[in-house]
Amino acid sequence: MSGVNKRVLVLGGDGFCGWPTALHLSSIGFDVVIADNLSRRTIDAELGIDSLTPISSIAERLRAWKRVSGFEIGFERIDIAADYEALRRLLERYKPGTVVHFAEQRAAPYSMKDARHKTYTVDNNVRGTHNVLAALSELALDCHLVHLGTMGVYGYDSADLELPEGYLDVLLEGRDGAHHRRSILYPTNPGSVYHLTKSLDQLLFQFYAANDRLRITDLHQGIVWGTQTDQTRRDPALINRFDYDGDYGTVLNRFAMEAVVGHPLTVHGSGGQTRAFIHIQDTVRCIAMALENPPARGDAVKILNQVAETHRVRDLAALVAKLTGAEVSFVDNPRREAAENSLAVSNATFRALGLQPILLEDHLLSETMDIAAQYADRCNFDAIPARSVWTPNHNPGVVREQMKEAANA
Amino acid sequence: MSGVNKRVLVLGGDGFCGWPTALHLSSIGFDVVIADNLSRRTIDAELGIDSLTPISSIAERLRAWKRVSGFEIGFERIDIAADYEALRRLLERYKPGTVVHFAEQRAAPYSMKDARHKTYTVDNNVRGTHNVLAALSELALDCHLVHLGTMGVYGYDSADLELPEGYLDVLLEGRDGAHHRRSILYPTNPGSVYHLTKSLDQLLFQFYAANDRLRITDLHQGIVWGTQTDQTRRDPALINRFDYDGDYGTVLNRFAMEAVVGHPLTVHGSGGQTRAFIHIQDTVRCIAMALENPPARGDAVKILNQVAETHRVRDLAALVAKLTGAEVSFVDNPRREAAENSLAVSNATFRALGLQPILLEDHLLSETMDIAAQYADRCNFDAIPARSVWTPNHNPGVVREQMKEAANA
């Protein structure tokens, strides 16, 4: 990378993945500027919740990082969806070699709460992503855009396929009767408005890569578990978020939290949903690898699956139950999704780049459970139930009643 | 259709397709309300152009329609992209059985002018469409949404396929080595930011049809030619728009205008682009047919190709030249597209529903040329050249110079 532009702009660098990524990139020699509108903190206030871990203000975070590492990270409070001009000016001034884009509303249940949350998620995510693309095109910057996508764009009806990395080889019958082989963007089947926005992003990327020859990498990430990375551990003011609520909490954090406070582990439906997982430490490593291996100008969007392994939700519940003695409770599933699915995913590119992922069995107790136990007194019990429902005719009362029964069982 | 809800809300009912559709539906017994923010008139003002035909204010249009037909059409000035609440309240009050959605910025060159026009097109079109979907979901209305899409979502690299109606049958290889047949949304390949937004719309529709069981028809329309319909002819105040400028003028109107004012017919590139066409009279008939044949609740999005025929652009130029004696001038192509393509399109559904389309040879002179000649004194010569370019490294000066040379030749 010598002679290469080492300036990185991290959009959404105050969030759960963005913050440890900014620190990781800073620690390995990149010049990092964070742009964030601090919306994740505003949403905490809206929902009346807090990260289980006490997170510092962005100013304190950056001061602490300077103190422990000697490296400076810049910060700009910008809403990239609402303020195109501010984004353009920042890009023009800073001329980053890479933009890492996390600046999207990222919770599926939050995106499904009601019309206001649906429209917010679509407006914020689509406008934000498109503003970045339009600005890179306008400025004709030679800049690599690395975007955090989601495994959820593929959907979970893969009919005995190993999910490829973004593109699917298909055969189709021509007018001449012959079979033609084509590589197409994997047909998307998102399961929530949030996941839908990442499908929309894919089409935006495809267009700007083709028309404007932008260099773009889209990382379809699995469900992230874990909290800390090598950098966030270095000072209490650097600690990362830990979300366990019904909107932003991912499945493992929620199980850990439930186990620690003596709540049964709430499995939605049969727990037969199989999902892909990755540890937050591997997230930041993968992003650095993606950044250091950009596509060439004129290439199609480079799509990588950022995953370590797959697990069935009820197996995860059983694992946490075994480790903690917690009970498992099966409650109504608020999502419209298949009750059971199998899932195989290729992560060939990151494997080839040297990823040796942290696997769930090894680290689950030693980290997630520790964090949950350490900050258990900060837990807001009322925030645990998932209250968003996927369809208008779904009765949220049922979910709440079952949660209550599960809690009292 | 007896006993059926005959109330139709036409979003974008003041525009080139929306206005004659509103009149047609009113004339065949539907109760029609138009919602429009009049943005097409505002954009005229922005670009310093006007419809060649003198169009009346929306109030005059509606008064004239009442006078000649006896039917009343309602009007609400609403920006459906910016004002979700106003849209929701209108839907709640009016409870339409059908919403026909034209309310999108619809010119590819306009969408490519610069970053501001790109972001306007994405914000306006995606938010507008998503607001409609979110409102129908929130209100749980049993309402059929008919949306005007575009042939442009398919792209023009169809590799010897007949373009199917929205869905493509493909074979893919499973982990078991067997071939699995699947019907997928046709992989999109839009050629401009405008076309891109219609590709994004498709994914929005797919999600809301699956998750909320909304009944949705998406009409992938070819390039519209012609101006008047049976209804717009009934009074001078009902006349439809005729756009000939470099942004909003479609190819045939532009050739007609150029021929009438003695300007060479400007063909971009080799003119080897093959496109699908439909007459405005067939547009309004097709929309009525789509409206009367809705998908069932729970069905996938019903996608129909709203096209009559295909033609190569240079053949159209030759036809107009033959009829008028105009010269043909080949100028630089500002778009990033294949120089030559073949195109075959299925319009099986509308054919089966009885469409006997108006074909180009028959009516070209008798209408488009008449309109162009009748209002030639209103032509703004400066507005004819196409000034938007598709890529930052494209030199618009080249296009302008060639236009000037062509004009002086």
pLDDT in tens, chain B (409 residues): 446 899 999 999 999 999 999 999 999 999 999 999 999 999 999 999 999 999 999 999 999 999 999 999 999 999 999 999 999 999 999 999 999 999 999 999 999 999 999 999 999 999 999 999 999 999 999 999 999 999 999 987 666 788 999 999 999 887 788 888 999 999 999 999 999 999 999 999 999 999 999 999 999 999 999 999 999 999 999 999 999 999 999 999 899 999 998 989 999 999 999 999 999 999 999 999 999 999 999 999 999 999 999 999 999 999 999 989 999 999 988 888 888 888 899 999 999 999 999 998 866 777 888 999 999 999 988 888 888 888 765 544 444 444 445 444 4
For residue A140, the chain B residues in CB contact (below 8 A) are 392-393
Q: Which of A246, A234, A229 is nearest to A363 (CA)?
A: A229
Residue A406 main-chain phi, psi, to 5 deg: -60, -40
Query: Which candidate in A131, A137, A207 is best for mutational testing of the B interface (most B CBs within 10 A)?
Result: A207
Query: Which candidate in B105, B126, B143, B158 is best for mutational testing of the A interface (most A CBs within 10 A)?
Result: B126
For residue A130, the chain B residues in CB contact (below 8 A) are 118-119, 122-123
Name every residue whose Cβ is closer than 8 Å to that of residue A34 and which is 6 or more positions away in sequence. A9, A10, A13, A14, A18, A22, A58, A73, A74, A75, A76
What was the pLDDT predicted at B393? Answer: 59
Helices B58-69 and B18-27, packing angle to 10 deg: 20
Collapsing DSSP to helix, strand or coil, B43 comes out as: helix
With beta carbons less than 8 A apart as the criterion, state whether B205 and B151 touch. no
Interchain CB contact of A159 with B (< 8 Å): yes
Q: Annotated catalytic, B194?
A: yes
For residue B174, the chain A residues in CB contact (below 8 A) are 159-161
Find the residue in B nearest to A113 (Cα).
B138
The CA distance from A170 to A184, in Å, is: 7
Q: Annotated catalytic, B198?
A: yes
ipTM of the complex: 0.94
Tokens found for residue B56: 């009346």
Out of A130, A159, A210, the one facing B119 most closely (by C-beta) is: A130
For residue B57, count other CB atoms closer than 10 A to its CB.
12
Q: Which of B45, B123, B113, B43 is nearest to B80 (CA)?
A: B123
Residue B228 main-chain phi, psi, to 5 deg: -100, 155
Name every residue whose Cβ is closer than 8 Å to that of residue A376 and which is 6 or more positions away in sequence. A257, A260, A261
Q: Which of B75, B92, B30 is nearest to B292 (CA)?
A: B30
Smallest Cα distance from A113 to chain B, Å: 11
Interchain CB contact of B4 with A (< 8 Å): no
Active-site choice (B21, B53, B129, B150): B150
Interchain CB contact of A392 with B (< 8 Å): yes
Interchain CB contact of A181 with B (< 8 Å): no
For residue B172, the chain A residues in CB contact (below 8 A) are 161, 168-171
With beta carbons less than 8 A apart as the criterion, state whether B309 and B351 touch. no
Q: A48 burial class (0-12, 13-18, 19+ CB within 10 angstroms)? A: exposed
Cβ distance of B200 and A203 shorter than 8 Å:
yes
Cβ distance of B122 and A140 shorter than 8 Å:
no
Which sign, positive or negative, has the C-alpha torsion B131, B136, B137, B139?
positive
Residue A372 main-chain phi, psi, to 5 deg: -60, -45
Q: Tell me which residues of chain B, numbers 184 to 213, contact chain A at a CB-CB cutoff of 8 Å.
A: 184-185, 187-188, 190, 193, 196, 199-200, 203-204, 206-207, 210-213
